[in-house]
Amino acid sequence: MNGPLGTPATLRQAVLEQLRAKIVAGLIAPGALLRETALAQQLKVSATPIREALGTLASEGLVEIEAHRRKRVAPVDMAATRDLIRVQAELWRLGYDWGMARIGVGQVLLLDQAIARYRAAIDTSEYMAAIIAGLDFHTIFIMASENRELLRSTLDRRGLIARFIFLHGINTLSANGLSQHEAILRAFKAGDHAAVLACLDRMSTRLIALCDDQIHTPISKD
């Protein structure tokens, strides 16, 4: 951020983005209690933007509001995450299917830039940047569908998916993961929409398999 925050709207957005980033990266751990006063002191703001941000994060599934208004970071429930990814995979596929015909020169440039960001992040082991670049790549296709409800339904769950990949799927952020995104872009530029969807399906299947692995891996009792 450059300089002091000038408006309440800017302040609210900055607080929201900071808290979301900390939760997605696991800096505020799953299950951790969220005390508005302590967070306000850490971020040097009043309690109001903290309260508003936590409400938004609750709508995104990253925060749970319990009895007596106690708030905590939502735990990573693998069965629920698997259900989430299965649903999101279908929504992303729909977004691609509707959006591909509407992609123009400007969006192709953005897709190229997202791939470049992904590649640079992998080269420097900046895994969160790689996750965001990958999600941005998919969002370009979904945005091209021009369906606001579809976009809302996918954007609202980006944080949950990013957190799952960062905390439990770092191994997907490899040269192979990058190659999957590159394959989608090559197929799209070649006009092979069926191959685009096939690549997307393989990526979704891999994420679902990661959830299954976590569900079926015994928890150590050391």
- Binned at pLDDT 50, 70 and 90, residue 69 comes out as confident
Q: How far apart are CA 160 and CA 81, in angstroms?
A: 8
State what percent of residues in the chain have pLDDT above 70.
Answer: 94
Is 49 strand, coil or helix?
helix
pLDDT of residue 217: 74
Q: Which amino acid is at 75?
A: P
- Binned at pLDDT 50, 70 and 90, residue 4 comes out as very low
In degrees, to the nearest 5, what angle opens at C-alpha 205 toward C-alphas 202 and 209?
A: 140
pLDDT of residue 175: 80
The overall average pLDDT reported for the chain is: 91
- CATH number of the domain at 78-216, out of 1.10.8.80, 1.20.1530.20, 1.20.120.530, 1.10.150.120? 1.20.120.530
What is residue 33's DSSP assignment? B
Judge whether 115 and 127 are in contact, CB under 8 Å: no
pLDDT of residue 40: 95
Q: How far apart are CA 67 and CA 74, in angstroms?
A: 14
pLDDT of residue 7: 55
Q: How far apart are CA 147 and CA 142, in angstroms?
A: 8
Distances, alpha carbon 127 to alpha carbons 68, 96, 116, 136, 169, in Å: 37, 25, 14, 14, 10
Domain map (residue ranges) of the chain: 8-73, 78-216
Summarised one tens digit per residue, pLDDT across range 85-128 is: 999 999 999 999 999 999 999 999 999 999 999 999 999 999 99
Q: Which helix (H) or strand (E) holds 31?
A: none
Summarised one tens digit per residue, pLDDT across range 175-216 is: 888 999 999 999 999 999 999 999 999 999 999 999 999 888
Judge whether 138 and 93 are in contact, CB under 8 Å: no
Q: Which amino acid is at 38?
A: A
Summarised one tens digit per residue, pLDDT across range 26-58 is: 999 999 999 999 999 999 999 999 999 999 999
Judge whether 89 and 204 are in contact, CB under 8 Å: yes
State what percent of residues in the chain have pLDDT above 90.
Answer: 84
pTM across the whole model:
0.88
Judge whether 39 and 48 are in contact, CB under 8 Å: no
Q: What's domain 8-73's architecture?
A: Orthogonal Bundle (1.10)
- Binned at pLDDT 50, 70 and 90, residue 8 comes out as low
